[in-house]
Amino acid sequence: MELGECTRNPGYQEADREADRAADITTTNGPEESRDSTGVCLDSDAVEYTQIKPFAGMPKEVLLLYSSQARYRVPREILFWLTVACTLALVALSITVIALSPRCLSWWQVSPVYQVYLRSFKDSDGDGVGDLQGLQEQLHHFQYLNIKSVWITPFYRSPMRDFGYDVEDFKAIDPLFGTMHNFEELLAEMHSKGLKLIMDFIPNHTSDKHRWFNLSRTRDEHYKDYYVWADCNATAPKPNNWVSVFGNSSWTYDEVRGQCYLHQFLKEQPDLNFRNPHVRKEMIDILHFWLGKGVDGFRMDAVKHLLEATHLRDEPQVDPNKPPDSVTSEWDLHHDYTTSQLGLHDLLREWRAEMDKFSREPGRYRFMVTESYDYHEVDKTMMYYGTTLVKESDFPFNFYLLDLPQNTSGLWVQHLVHLWMSNMPRGQWPNWVVGNHDKPRITSSAGRRYIHVINMLLLTLQGTATTYYGEEIGMENINVTQSQIQDPAGKYNASASRDPQRSPMQWSGDMNAGFNNKTNITWLPVHPDYSRVNVEAQKKEEGSLLAQYRFLNTLRQSELPLQRGWFCFVHADINVFSYLRELDGLDRAFLIVLNFGKESAVTDLSTVSELPDQLMVLMSTDRENDGKVLHKSRILTAAGEGLVIQYSTYTRFNPSHPMQCYVSEKACYLAAIDILYKC
Which residues are the active-site residues?
Answer: 301, 371
Alpha carbon distance 78, 65 (integer Å): 20
- For residue 567, what are the β-bridge partners? 581, 662
Please name the residues in contact with 439: beta carbons below 8 A apart, sequence gap of 6 or more.
399, 402, 498, 501
3-state DSSP of 366-418: CEEEECCCCCCCHHHHHHHHECCCCECCCEECCCHHHHHHHCCCHHHHHHHHH
- Residues ≥6 apart with Cβ < 8 Å to 563: 105, 110, 556, 557
- 409, 413, 419, 425 alpha-carbon torsion, rounded to 10°: -160
Integer Cα distance of 337 and 392 in angstroms: 22
* CA pair distance 463, 395, nearest whole angstrom: 10
Q: Give which of 171, 439, 166 is closest to 301, Cα–Cα.
A: 166
Tell me the residue length of the chain. 679
In sequence order, what are the beta bridge partners of 261? Answer: 229, 252
Beta bridge partners of 116: 152
Say which amino acid occupies 240.
N
Q: Beta strand pairing status for 259-262 and 251-254?
A: antiparallel
In Å, how far from its chain's centre is CA 370?
13
Side-chain-side CA neighbours of 117 within 13 Å: the count stands at 27
Query: Would you say the C-alpha torsion 70, 71, 76, 81 has a positive or negative sign?
Result: positive
Cβ neighbours of 525 (radius 10 Å): 16
- Select from 564, 575, 563, 571 the least CA-distant residue to 591: 571
Give the span between the Cα atoms of 118 and 126, in whole angstroms.
14
Helix (H, G, I), strand (E, B) or coil at 269: coil
